[in-house]
């Protein structure tokens, strides 16, 4: 049992059975013992022909979206540089920041799955570029994300649980500006540059892949060093406004959407309807986020490309909790639960299923919901 102090001063001290989210701790071993690791997850029934059609690959949509993305990056950065250091440059940096520091999150993710493009090398190229922007080592994160899909929100197994219990509110708020994630990314990069991996990374990255981690980190280190040197030589932060800093000032959008993927939902369950969230988004945010607001669908069928997720949603929504209508409406249900978790209550949301849905597997999910 851990004694925690709430970050809000008047809350005082409380007792909470705090779980150990480390991949090296006892919880991971318990998850394996309980059969939660690499378990047989619930899937909504979809016919083979429909699933083949949904999984079908094409370069068309990702080529279109990548061309728009690159053009928007170049135009916004170009305008920002042209107007620098005038305040008139600010709107262009804000746009560039989101395109760099948030769109890269979805591009990294989707190309890592190998589903965005039909042509493998196109996935690989965009994956490498997006990983650099979001500061996630492509090899480490490919493997960590593989584990995230195998053991989604299984405590002690999933290395990508963004909102733990109790939630680290300060970390989430600081990450709206990329601060905590980028600091950790640089710390890991420095470890990798020396030829080592973090001990947790060694649990899911095979030894045969370690050299790729180190090679990439050394290239990135050289790029950042050259950017800083250029900034010093110019006596201006402008080079860093283009490379590096957008990961901070443009991070807010991917945190805003990313937190909603699993926050305030169940952990240690093997039904994505209980631990993942689908919500509706405006078209611009869906472009930035590449449709990952359909997150239950994505986790249930990870090989369905982002452009087919709206169709998949229509096909299986009869079996899913109803989607939140917007980011705002999703946060209206999430925030009260996170606040209760901050106070030490071990609560989470269990969304009502429509009458047409198959029920949750109660024998596996018998914890108390909010």
Tokens of 124: 């690989």
**Where does residue 4 rank: exposed (0-12), middle (13-18), buried (19+ CB within 10 A)?**
middle
Q: Which is nearer to other proteins, 211 or 332 (CB)?
A: 211
Select the residue interacting with other proteins from 5, 52, 64, 211 (CB under 8 A).
52
306 part of the interface to other proteins, by CB under 8 A? no
Site track 106-125 with other proteins (rule: CB under 8 A), x = hit: -------xxx----x-----
- CB nearer other proteins, residue 33 or residue 366: 33
Among 22, 58, 119, 150, binds other proteins (CB under 8 A): 150
Of 71-79, 174-182, 297-305, 360-368, the segment contacting other proteins by CB under 8 A is: 297-305
Q: Is 139 exposed, middle or buried (0-12, 13-18, 19+ CB in 10 A)?
A: buried
Q: Within its chain, how far is the Cα of 312 from the centroid?
A: 20
- Contacts of residue 330, defined as CB under 8 A and 6 or more positions apart, other chains included, come to 260, 277, 279, 324
Q: Shortest Cβ distance from residue 296 to other proteins (Å)?
A: 16
For the chain, state the CA radius of gyration. Answer: 21
We find the least distance from the C-beta atom of residue 26 to other proteins, in angstroms, to be 23
User: By rule CB under 8 A, what count of residues binds other proteins?
Assistant: 22
Residues of this chain, 200-239, that bind other proteins according to CB under 8 A? 206, 208-209
Give the separation between CA 364 and CA 370, rounded to whole angstroms: 17
DSSP β-bridge partners for residue 15: 3
Of 38, 70, 74, 335, which lies in the binding site for other proteins, with binding defined by CB under 8 A? 38
φ/ψ of 90, rounded to 5, equals -60, -50
Interface with other proteins (CB under 8 A): 38, 48, 51-52, 55-57, 113-115, 120, 142-143, 146, 149-150, 206, 208-209, 301-303
């Amino acid at each position: 049992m851990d004694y925690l102090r709430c970050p809000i001063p008047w809350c005082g001290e409380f007792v909470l059975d705090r779980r150990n989210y480390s991949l090296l701790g006892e919880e991971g071993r318990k998850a394996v013992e309980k059969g939660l690791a690499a378990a047989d997850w619930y899937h909504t029934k979809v016919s083979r022909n429909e699933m083949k059609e949904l999984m079908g690959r094409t370069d068309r949509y990702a080529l279109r979206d990548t061309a728009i993305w690159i053009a928007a990056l170049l135009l916004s950065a170009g305008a920002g540089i042209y107007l620098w250091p005038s305040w008139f440059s600010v709107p262009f940096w804000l746009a560039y920041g989101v395109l760099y520091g948030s769109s890269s999150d979805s591009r990294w993710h989707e190309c890592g799955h190998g589903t965005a493009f039909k042509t493998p090398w196109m996935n690989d190229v965009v994956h490498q570029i997006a990983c650099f922007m979001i500061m996630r080592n492509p090899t480490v994160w490919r493997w960590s994300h593989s584990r995230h899909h195998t053991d989604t929100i299984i405590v002690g197994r999933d290395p990508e649980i963004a909102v733990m219990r109790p939630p680290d509110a300060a970390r989430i708020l600081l990450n709206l500006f990329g601060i905590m994630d980028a600091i950790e990314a640089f710390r890991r990069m420095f470890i990798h540059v020396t030829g080592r991996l973090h001990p947790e990374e060694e649990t899911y990255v095979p030894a045969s892949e370690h050299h790729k981690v180190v090679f990439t980190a050394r290239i990135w280190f050289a790029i950042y060093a050259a950017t800083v040197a250029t900034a010093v030589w110019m006596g201006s932060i402008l080079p860093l406004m283009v490379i590096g800093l957008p990961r901070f000032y443009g991070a807010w959008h991917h945190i805003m959407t990313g937190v909603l993927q699993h926050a305030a939902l169940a952990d240690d369950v093997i039904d994505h309807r209980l631990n993942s969230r689908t919500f509706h988004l405006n078209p611009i945010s869906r472009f930035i986020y590449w449709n990952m607001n359909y997150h239950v669908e994505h986790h249930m069928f990870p090989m369905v490309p982002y452009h087919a997720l709206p169709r998949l949603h229509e096909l299986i929504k009869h079996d899913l909790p109803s989607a939140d209508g917007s980011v705002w409406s999703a946060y209206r249900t999430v925030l009260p639960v996170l606040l209760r978790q901050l106070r030490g209550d071990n609560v989470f949301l269990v969304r009502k299923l429509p009458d047409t849905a198959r029920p949750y597997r109660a024998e596996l999910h018998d914890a108390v919901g909010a």
